[in-house]
Structure 1
Amino acid sequence: MATLTGGGEPSATVKTVAAHAGVSAQTVSRVLRGTGYVSEETRAKVLAAVAAVGYRPNAVGRSLRAARTPMVGLLITDIGNPFYAALHKSVEAVFRGRGLTLMLLNSDDDRETERQQLDLLGSYRPSGLLVAPAVHSTLTTGDLAGFGAAVLVSRTLPDLAVPSVVTNEPEAMGEATRELLGAGHRRIAAVLGPEGASTTARREAGYREAMRAARAEPLVFYTDQTGPGARAALRQALHAHPGITAALGFNAPVTEGILAGLRDEGLRCPQDVSLVGFTDAPWMAFYPPPITVVRQPVEDMGRLAARLVLDLVDGKPVAPEPHVVPGTLLRRESVAAPPGPNPTEQGTV
């Protein structure tokens, strides 16, 4: 709806510009604010529309919008993953102490949805942003600069001059792999997350290095990091490599899917296949057998990420690099020696 000038004539609004340029009002706002990604072609169309309709920003409204709201956004990739539930809880506790509200958004690991969610968040003028980037994310340093105080968590993106909080994934996954190798396993399947995610690459690197040092063949299977995806991948792995005697799980849902896949094949853990997971979950301590796992320090990661955002809000210097919180291997009962050959199959009694 147009507003009225002092003489009673309707004045152009952002919506007027958007209609003239054939784009959304959010795109017009991004161009006028100089934040977020907009192609050069679209930017030129918007600026031409601004001139054509005679749009003039409202100085009072602009000054009001310039202030940041007491809100921080948390954009995650999978709202069903318990890792993010724990992250949300720890982050929210820190911000609550500063009187900041946390707005949770989910990208479903889709880069287009990711941009849509950030457009929505940007309209609230938040004080900061925590983001776990989607697989194949196209976010740039400039995109995140519009949020003032931005920190990546869990996942990273190449060439972004933005602070991030991660765990020591290569070292932790290497230790998990050596736990299985030390028990005598050589045919170890790594059931990982999405190919292209930084978390997948870092954990895969640790696994491959440990397998290389042991002169064992790496067996890598990528998934969508969900239980059903891991269940299907585990069955594929067992059929492609019948000699597999151990597996590594990428996260809690993947570890759960591996156990379901073993049951599908009539196999037991650890009698037939040993298992080490990555990222602990309450059920793992009680599952028969209790699952050996790399405890990812989710709460510590969340608290550190939130403090980094607050430091940026306060104008304190924060190094634009990964800030590492180390994980811990929790030894339980899901690792045993690989099963020996069946005497009958060897022709002996």
Structure 2
Amino acid sequence: MKQLKRLFLRVKMFFYNNTIIAIAVIIFLFGALIAFTLPIFLTSIEYLGMTAPNEIGDAFGGATNPVIGLIGVGVTFLAFYIQYKATEKQREDLKEQQRYNQYKYLQEAIKDVKDDIKDLRFTKDQVTYTYSEAIWNFMMDNLQHGMAEQQILSPLYYQLEYILTLFEPIIAEVENSDLSKKEKFQMLMNIDGLFESSLAFILRVYDRSVVEGKEKMFRESVKYKIIIPAKKIKQELRETLDRYREPEKDIFHRVVMRIKGAAFVRHTRMIGKKGIVIFYKDYETYKLENPEGNITQERFDAFFADQDNAEKIIINEPIRLLMKLDFLEKVAFQLYLKDYT
């Protein structure tokens, strides 16, 4: 009996997930039912007086031809519909494959730039520096000897000039891709992280020179080919990231829904830099807003009756939120307990 019940459930789920097949089976069964029952029905009516085989055949053919034609139309429609769905699925698969290829291509492009930066070398006083140290020492050396235009530029200068030209096309390709907003933001964050860990040292040395009043010490070629392009890239990254950045209130809500007792949170709110978390006041309100919620009244009452548990949430969770979300300055939790709020 259990096996039959299990089989029935499997068949039910199969037809539930395959609507077209279910419709086709229904049409077939309907046609078969008419084909087998109509002759019996016609011969059972004495008023029609059908006894001869040819009379029954003519009556059966005349009665079933419209039904068969209708079934044929339905089956033809199903065939076209199945073809349409298959084409649509193929189109979606192709689009997904294109999106995946774009994602892999952009990842490879960022990796290639990262490898180029890792290969940077700068030698000074018989000491060879690599990666970000090479950039820092190159800029510091130009700050000290920049006015000597006749001095031969280091090969690192030409490498940096080339690498800086790679960022803007990659940023543009990310924006024009078919990736989701979240994927674009993550990709841009990877580019920004790469820039900040390496090429941002160009701007840090320059900013330092501005503070010290030595910005004019840089030779013109370094200023126009290295410093200005680096500034432009940083500005473009900031503006592009802002377009895809998730709103702070959404980030706050998403993180709050992972804290202890999140199931009892009614809603969250952001007022400036202050985050507010409001819990349900009573079980009736919870069920009214969550009719399909699986929290029982006993569990609800037990959670809010345990003041030690509530105090731990009020003390620990705001600290975690403040540590995790740097845009928060204050966090307020509003819990309704028996003796106090």
* Normalised TM-score (structure 1): 0.22
Whichever of the two has the greater Rg, that structure is: 2
Which structure has greater helix proportion? 2
Q: Which has the higher contact order (CA 8 A, sep 6+)?
A: 1
Which structure has greater strand proportion? 1
